[in-house]
Amino acid sequence: KRVRYFPEINKVFVARKNCTCSLLDPNTFATHQSVPSVNKNRIPILDAAWVPSAKAVVTSGAECVLRSFRAETAVSTSLVPHREARVEHAQDVLRWSARDRRLLSGSRNGDCVVWGQYVPFLKGADSLRIQEKWSAHSESLTDMAFVQGSTRIVTCSLDTTLAVHDLLRSKVVLRFHGHEKGVYSVAHSKAYNCILSAGFEFSAFIWAEGTPSLQPIKLVDLGVQPHESPLVGVWTSGDTPQVVTCDTSGLTKIWDLRNHRPIHTLTVPPNQKKSAAKEVLHSYVYLPQRQGFLFNARATSHVYESTALDEDVGKAHNQELIVGAYVCSKQNLIATVTARELKI
């Protein structure tokens, strides 16, 4: 039910509905290393993060326990339990901050938690310990995104708000209001200085970074809501204007941040029969080496590859927005138009 991509080791983490976990090779999707189940009651795994300093996978369980797993040798086929820490509330979100070399987590009671530096080979510092904790939301903290090039993070919650935190001061410095329902996913675009959010409403929102007083822009498709079921996530493509939204039914849209319009739509899984049991998507991740997405559904996973996600859609016109394209089939020509020029 949960899928994460760990770029530091180029592996996909999958937490299955039977409470087993594995690290997969993103090229073949064969199991690279398995994560043993250590809870007898098959309590679900909520999230996971890779901690480079410990060379360990840290998982968060619904039984309010964080566990770390490490490989004893380079060729180990299974990770072994290493450390664990009990917490007062379940941690729904785990993220590793490469800048601060700290593990961050979001609690079910709305707290934001910073864990101490985790160095397993240093005596006295080989356990998971809470370093800082502060109240961020009145309900469960559901997602977390880093603001690139700064010490700030953005979180969202089922309390319908977004919050910007300063990790140096361990406090919320900005709060965004505008959603009418719970927010499940948040992302930050450095290139366009904006925050994106999605949740139980059928549209994603765009927020002006640093200006919570401005009303958000709602992504719509030709004046109507683009999705017909709650969104499971919103994702941004690095420094490019592409944004991806996906809902629980599998309807996925790729947007252009420059004009807030969809440029591509696909359905996961494709050609689903009406008589078949309907798939419900839980999460998805971008796989940069494959230039595609891994979508995780109730019973199956689906991979979509596309080189177009890393290309600049305005490259033919020196970053200008293309407003029209016309085809002359008899002469095998295509004409593209911007506000200032025409190219054939």
List pLDDT tens digits, range 123-151: 444 467 888 999 999 999 999 999 988 89
Find out whether 167 and 153 touch, Cβ atoms under 8 Å: yes
Is the pLDDT assigned to residue 118 strictly greater than 70? no
DSSP string computed for 32-64: EEEE----TT-PPEEEEEEETTTTEEEEEETTT
Residue 73 has pLDDT above 70, yes or no: no
Backbone angles phi and psi of 155, in degrees to 5: -125, 160
Q: What is the pTM of this model?
A: 0.81
User: What is the structure's pLDDT at 40?
Assistant: 67
Q: For residue range 324-335, list pLDDT tens digits in order.
A: 888 877 777 788
Report whether pLDDT(277) > 60.
no
Last residue of a domain, one of 118, 135, 152: 135
Tokens describing residue 123: 């005596």
SS (HEC) of 180-237? CCCEEEEEEECCCCEEEEEECCCCCEEEECCCCCCCCEECCECCECCCCCCEEEEEEC
**Residues 148 and 279 both lie in one domain:** yes
Assess contact for 198 and 184: CB atoms under 8 A: yes
Which of 69, 103, 135 corresponds to the end of one domain?
A: 135
Looking at 114, 135, 156, which one is the last position of a domain? Answer: 135
| Whether 130 and 193 share a structural domain | no
- Identify whether residues 84 and 222 lie together within a single domain: no
Which candidate, 166, 165, 207, 161, places its Cα nearest to that of 184? 161
Residues 232 and 89 in one domain: no
Banded model confidence at residue 39, pLDDT cuts 50, 70, 90:
low
Return the pLDDT at 45.
Answer: 87
- State residue 1's pLDDT score: 67
C-alpha distances (whole Å) from 198 to each of 33, 205, 215 are: 32, 6, 15
Please compute, for residue 256, the number of CA atoms within 13 A of its CA located in the half-sphere on the CB side. Answer: 16
CATH of the domain at 144: 2.130.10.10
170 and 303 belong to one structural domain:
yes
Q: What are the pLDDT digits (tens) for 215-247?
A: 999 999 887 889 989 999 999 977 788 999 999
Domain count for the chain, please give it: 3
Averaged over 286-296, what is the pLDDT? Answer: 83
Do 131 and 187 sit in the same domain of this protein? no
Q: Are residues 73 and 2 located together in one domain of the fold?
A: yes
Q: Could you give the percent of the chain with pLDDT greater than 90?
A: 39
Q: Are residues 30 and 144 located together in one domain of the fold?
A: no
- Only one residue has tokens 């795994």, namely 45
| Structural domain of 337 | 315-344
**Domain co-membership, 144 together with 91:** no
* Same domain membership, residue 292 and residue 145: yes
Residues 144 and 203 in one domain: yes
From its phi and psi, is residue 263 left (phi > 0), alpha (psi between -120 and 50) or beta? alpha
CB 265 within 8 A of CB 219: no
pLDDT of residue 335: 83
The answer on 202 and 95 residing in a single domain is no
Segment 187-222, tens digit of pLDDT: 999 888 899 999 999 999 999 988 888 899 999 988
Nearest Cα residue to 96 out of 145, 63, 139, 133: 145
User: Band of the pLDDT at 310, cuts 50, 70, 90?
Assistant: very low
